[in-house]
Chains A and B, each alone.
Chain A
């Protein structure tokens, strides 16, 4: 059972555009929602994370929007650059545990 659903599977954006990746979850015990960025041949790297007590968190060009009632959260990459081309994973963690449940991943390509 996939507890975190991520879309789209792949995304192509022009340089300078906005990339938006969406995730939805069902488990209301999740209380920590990170996004990871993975380049080929590398492990996932923590990009930005949010907790349910805030609706938005911004770090540089990266913003997480969180909708607790809809059980959805999304990653927005402003002014997308070719160097942002990577696979992005959303994830979630339960209050009582420490394992992360990952979405299926989105392969982002930013064309120059």
Chain B
């Protein structure tokens, strides 16, 4: 157990729907990162939050949004889902900067 908790582990939904992925960072970590892992794109950085504020944005689609709450857990919202959004979504956390990321086990999203 890495200490980073992601729920749900698996999610199957239809095109056009909206889902929410949840992440609880490791105790004491203030930064949360979201990554998408697909077969043809590898691990792609989506977005980072630090202590509730957005810090960096990567290849995140406009249909996707995220937030970090006062208790430091984070949610990634994916809307108007398309078949191509099927992927593994990982959350990672770190104390402050990017050194020593700890990843969760991921949420496998399947859009049918």
Task: Flag whether B45 is at the interface (Cβ < 8 A).
Answer: yes
The 6 closest A-B pairs by CB, nearest first: A43-B103, A98-B98, A102-B43, A93-B98, A99-B45, A98-B97
- Are B56 and A105 touching (Cβ within 8 A)? no
Residues of chain A having any CB pair with chain B under 8 Å: 32, 34, 36, 41-46, 49, 89, 93, 97-105
CB distance from A69 to the nearest CB of B (A): 24
Q: A42-B105, A44-B90 are in contact. Are A99 and B42 (CB under 8 A)?
A: no
- Are B43 and A43 touching (Cβ within 8 A)? no
Residue from the list A32, A99, A102, A104 in contact with B48, Cβ < 8 A:
A99
Residue from the list B2, B42, B105 in contact with A104, Cβ < 8 A:
B42
Query: Which of A36, A49, A98, A101 is most buried by chain B, counting CB atoms within 10 A of its CB?
Result: A98
- Are A102 and B42 touching (Cβ within 8 A)? yes
Q: State the CA gap A34–B43 with chains docked (Å).
A: 14
Residues from chain B with Cβ under 8 Å of A46 in the complex: 100-102
Could you give, for residues 72-112 of chain B, a 1 whenever the CB lies within 8 Å of some chain A CB and a 0 otherwise?
00000000000000000010101011111111111000000
Residue from the list B56, B90, B102, B106 in contact with A99, Cβ < 8 A:
B56
Residue from the list B2, B33, B42, B97 in contact with A45, Cβ < 8 A:
B2
- Are A93 and B99 touching (Cβ within 8 A)? yes
Q: A98-B48, A99-B98 are in contact. Are A89 and B43 (CB under 8 A)?
A: yes
Closest chain A residue, CB of each to CB of B88? A43
Q: State the CA gap A2–B2 with chains docked (Å).
A: 28
Q: A41-B105, A43-B2, A43-B105 are in contact. Are A97 and B43 (CB under 8 A)?
A: no
- Are B103 and A97 touching (Cβ within 8 A)? no
